[in-house]
Amino acid sequence: MRAQRRANQPVDPVRYAEYYLLLEKIFGLYREYQEHYNAKLLKLKDGKIDEMAGDIKELISMNVELKDINTQQSSKIDTLTEMNTQQSLEIKAILGHTIDVKRDLKEMSAKFDMMFDFVASMARFALPMWNGSSVFKTQLDHLIKQKTLTYALTHLKVMFVVAFYRIEEDSTYLMVYICCTNFADVGARIRKLYKEHNTTPSDDLKMTMLQPEAICLITQEINYERANIHQLVFNNSEAVVYNNRRKSYSMVYDTIDPNVIFTKFGEMVDILLEQEFQGYQMRRSQVLEDDTYEVNEDIIRHIKDSDDKFFDQTTPLCREYIDQYTRRDKTTVNGYKPVAKIPHSKTHRSDIVLAVSNVMYPLHKINKILDADNGTNEVATMINTGVMSKRNMKSLFKTTKAAAEAEDVEFDEETQERFNEVNEDDLPDTDDEDFD
């Protein structure tokens, strides 16, 4: 701002000159300052630009690398996409094949189900022929058709043994009878044998009868088993004499102790109780031992166990029946004699829901066991427990076929034709538990 001069103030040219020189100097310094300041700004801007240029260059380099990586990833993605497409096609093909396989398996399973049902139905018919429960049930039903239940029960056959001994000077003579007769004839048979050995001119020839012992129900006469009995019970001893007419074995023991004879007879009975005398049992054993049949041993074992159980249940009842025909003879050691008369008064029995006499009660108990028909039901049990299944259908078929042939089973014409058409090679026989 210019200084104001008063009106009467004198003018000093020197001062004005110095003032303008000072202004000129200040202006020059200001211009110099501006130049330096602008130069500094330019310098700072150039550095920033260079720095930014470097950053941009680095970013461009990184972008190039990222582009390369992206290109590689794109290539990999393309490859994976192509592989995925190929795998999708393969999976689709596998799924299609799986559907076909499942359909085939379903059809095969249905076929095996039908085949198993058929073979199982044949087994229900043939295999019970190897089980005492069904064998005697069939026999009883046949007898009932002829007359009454009482007639049928008393005309089942029972195997029992009767022994007589006579003590001599220094030894004991023993005779053992193997009897096979109807229940109705048991009493008569015992009385006849007792009479033969006790109706003699001399008391020295009389023989003491031991208590008769039941062995088992029997399906037929046992003449052809004489050799086996001789071997098993008497060890093929030449000292044992067999009388075919009497069906008896006689022997002499070097003892005069009746208790020893009683023990010897008990040992014979124990051996007989362990044997198989039924014709079907012998045929079953022969089939099992014959490798050409290739039967299922588990099935045979199951049938045999059921068969043994049947005789374990019925033999004590046979013994109970036979015991009623004799009583203790107190004049002898371990001796018995026939009962003069069997009472036939009836008593109601809650377990069989029937009024029967004491002598008939054991036979009605046997009838109750036969009514259960465990022989036929045993096939269903084996199916339910897995002993019989689609997995072992081949051996089941062979076992059923063997039983049918051994027992001369007669099927109806249509069933026999289907049975003959079965191709064993088409049947499964595997241990794979997942097969079912």
For tokens 């009767």, what's the residue?
Answer: 162
Q: How far is CA 73 from CA 82, 83, 228, 321, in A?
A: 14, 15, 91, 98
Tokens of 367: 């009838």
Report the C-alpha gap between 111 and 105 in whole angstroms.
9
Domain edges within the chain? 22-128, 130-399
Q: Is 130 exposed, middle or buried (0-12, 13-18, 19+ CB in 10 A)?
A: buried
User: Taking a C-beta distance cutoff of 8 angstroms, is the pair 172, 253 a contact?
Assistant: yes
Tokens of 21: 């020189």
Report the C-alpha gap between 177 and 212 in whole angstroms.
10
The pLDDT, as a whole number, for residue 424 is: 76
Tokens of 19: 């003032």
The pLDDT, as a whole number, for residue 227 is: 61
Closest residue by Cα to residue 395 from 287, 265, 308, 273: 287
Q: Count of CB atoms within 10 A of residue 357's CB? A: 15
Report the C-alpha gap between 361 and 317 in whole angstroms.
9
The pLDDT, as a whole number, for residue 204 is: 74
The pLDDT, as a whole number, for residue 432 is: 53
Per-residue pLDDT of the chain (436 residues; tens, 9 = 90+): 455 666 666 767 877 788 888 888 888 888 888 888 888 877 777 777 777 878 788 888 888 888 888 888 888 888 888 888 888 888 888 888 888 778 877 777 788 788 888 888 889 889 999 999 999 999 999 999 988 999 999 999 999 999 999 999 899 999 999 999 999 999 999 999 999 999 877 777 899 999 999 999 998 755 545 666 777 777 656 688 888 888 889 999 999 999 999 999 999 999 999 988 888 998 999 998 988 888 999 999 999 999 999 999 999 999 999 999 999 999 999 999 999 888 888 899 998 888 999 999 999 999 999 998 767 788 888 989 888 888 888 889 899 989 998 998 888 888 888 878 777 777 776 655 555 5
pTM: 0.74
The pLDDT, as a whole number, for residue 324 is: 96
Q: How far is CA 325 from CA 152, 275, 359, 367, in A?
A: 20, 25, 9, 20
The pLDDT, as a whole number, for residue 1 is: 47
DSSP string, 15-72: HHHHHHHHHHHHHHHHHHHHHHHHHHHHHHHHHHHHHHHHHHHHHHHHHHHHHHHHHH
Contacts of 3 (CB under 8 A, 6+ apart): none
